[in-house]
Amino acid sequence: MTDMRTQLAATSTELVATDPRVAVVLSEISVDRFAEAMRSAPHRVVNVGIMEQTLVGVGAGFAMEGFHPIVHTMAPFLVERPFEQVKLDFGYQGLGGTLASVGAPYDYGTEGGTHHSPGDVALMLTVPGAQVLVPGCAAELDVLLRATYANGRLTYLRASVAQNDVAFDVAPGGLEVIRRGTRATLVAVGPMLTRTLAAAEGLDLTVVYTASVAPFDAAGLTLVAGDDPLVVAVEPFYEGTLLPTLADALRHVPARFASIGVPRRFITAYGTLAEHDRDLGMDAAGIRRRLLGILDATS
Amino acid sequence: MAADVTVDRVRALMERATGDEKHDESSTSTLDALWVLYDRVLTVDPSSPHDELRDRFILSKGHGPGAYYAVLAAKGFFPEELLDGFLGWGNPLGSHPDRNQVPGVEASTGSLGHGLALGVGTALALRAKGLEDQRVVVLCGDAELNEGSNWEAILLGAHLALANLTLLVIDNHSSSIEMAPWEAKLGAFGWDAVVVDGHDHRALETALSVHPSDRPNAVVADIPEGEW
């Protein structure tokens, strides 16, 4: 299976070749993967070096001239470090563009906390009008990038190392019902689906899947959640990030909510992604353990 | 094309935009440079503010936009009467300019240190369109250049040989950190730089009208303390 980072470069390279209004702005990260695009359109595919405020500002400058910029680096250096440029240069100015990250939440686990970004999605959700997309696999990333790169909106596209086993027919605002049950509804986001299904094995639970945090399919969740639901977000970012969205979606019913996400503490250990998942309760076993705790507490 | 107006006419218009006195010095110190730019240097057309063949101007510092608004009004980008409602509810002329509300404004600015990177991106976009005769002029204050983001963009602008990019510094000596010597400092980053009297229209016009063919340039308009 192609990894999402490679897919991001491949799809972007094709868009550069087919749409003369596509520009790519890089900050050293993934430059090797964009070599063909840089050769084919050197004026539209630019590596600015290690300067993330300028990375985002240059992308917005392209957008001011009618281009569709795809701005790429690691999540903490794309969202957190230059956040004011994201908020003002794109958001406040009403410009469209794709901010495409890798590395969140702690994908490059040996790099340490300086390179982790479990707060990226929460931060992006503070930018009014921004789309936040978290594909579950490379094929979904391809579909979402093609669907949004030229739609005139600011889009945060989060590529992950972890991938689901199956690709769905995703779209901004889409929600897929995977299975139906009665005790609770799990909302699995992006690459959390495969492990969520493993964690829910044998339990009487509804599982829905989305790669679209914003816009979120409130109507779709309403249809499956019922009149007195317990809704549990299984989210690959800080726990609780999705809860305001879920609460708003179900504001007309007396719903209860819980979250299984990245615990809100600094990650100081080094190790593989799998080791971090295990330590943080984000692998299938950890999700099941946390899920059973939630079900016990709310039964 | 833009109407011919005198700097005295613009100064009179500025006096109609009241309520932002804390930024008076920031505003008045830009007046001569802005008038020279819009009257003698930039190719802009108020009847077609988004013309592809226009020059682009970004007021990066955003602060004290009274002179900017007065120049734009004098040139016909919007009715002069809007100046009377400066800062008022429902009036598009706020304390920092907004590209989505004010005709002729290229970028929404006010948080310091954003405009130069936007200008680099704009210059790159013009290059990608094959419009390298169109210039991008970014105005920064001397204190604004304390912001590190500017020096990222200054480094990059020279690296990319953006000959259609000009940084106009209004050095009204508001920076708490000594910024001179400008020529040596900007020159070390690969820019052509010249310091001129910020009230001398002929010197400003000459400096802003010429630029090298292989690198960006900076024009530093010196405004001595007390001569704002």
Chain A positions touching B114 (Cβ under 8 A) are 57, 84-85, 88-89
CATH class, range A176-298: alpha beta
CATH 3.40.50.970 residue ranges of chain A are 4-158
Cα–Cα distance, B59 to B141 (Å, whole number): 9
* Predicted confidence pLDDT, tens digits, chain B (228 residues): 456 789 999 999 999 999 988 888 889 999 999 999 999 999 999 999 999 999 999 999 999 999 999 999 999 999 999 999 999 999 999 999 999 999 999 999 999 999 999 999 999 999 999 999 999 999 999 999 999 999 999 999 999 999 999 999 999 999 999 999 999 999 999 999 999 999 999 999 999 999 899 999 999 999 998 888
Asked if B128 contacts A43 with a C-beta cutoff of 8 angstroms, the reply is yes
Chain A positions touching B148 (Cβ under 8 A) are 53
Structure tokens at A237: 């970012």
Structure tokens at B222: 């010196």
Three-state secondary structure call for residue B198? coil
ipTM: 0.97
Instruction: Report chain A's mean pLDDT, rounded to a whole number.
Output: 97
**CATH architecture for segment(s) B7-222:** 3-Layer(aba) Sandwich (3.40)
Each as own residue / partner, the long-range contacts of residues A226-229 (CB below 8 Å, 24 or more positions apart, any chain) are A226/A185, A226/A253, A227/A253, A228/A253, A228/A254, A228/A255, A229/A184, A229/A185, A229/A253, A229/A255, A229/A256
Length of chain A equals 299
User: Do B111 and A88 count as a contact with CB atoms less than 8 A apart?
Assistant: yes
**CA geometry: angle A45, A50, A53, nearest 5 deg:** 85
CATH 3.40.50.920 residue ranges of chain A are 176-298
Residue B51 contacts A where some CB pair is shorter than 8 Å: no
Q: What is the pLDDT of residues A180-203, one digit of tens each?
A: 999 999 999 999 999 999 999 999
Chain B positions touching A44 (Cβ under 8 A) are 128
Strand A205-210 with A176-179, pairing = antiparallel
How high is the pLDDT of residue B1?
A: 44
Cα–Cα distance, B48 to B202 (Å, whole number): 28
User: Do A64 and B152 count as a contact with CB atoms less than 8 A apart?
Assistant: no
Chain A / chain B CB contacts < 8 angstroms: 97
Cα–Cα distance, A103 to A276 (Å, whole number): 13
Chain B positions touching A59 (Cβ under 8 A) are 121
User: Do B117 and A46 count as a contact with CB atoms less than 8 A apart?
Assistant: no
Cα–Cα distance, B119 to B138 (Å, whole number): 6
Structure tokens at A204: 């009487």
Report the CATH number of the A4-158 domain. 3.40.50.970
Facing A58 at nearest CB: one of B121, B127, B148: B121
Chain A positions touching B124 (Cβ under 8 A) are 23, 43, 46, 58, 61-62
Residue B127 contacts A where some CB pair is shorter than 8 Å: yes
Residue B107 contacts A where some CB pair is shorter than 8 Å: yes
Q: What is the pLDDT of residues A13-64, one digit of tens each?
A: 999 999 999 999 999 999 999 999 999 999 999 999 999 999 999 999 999 9
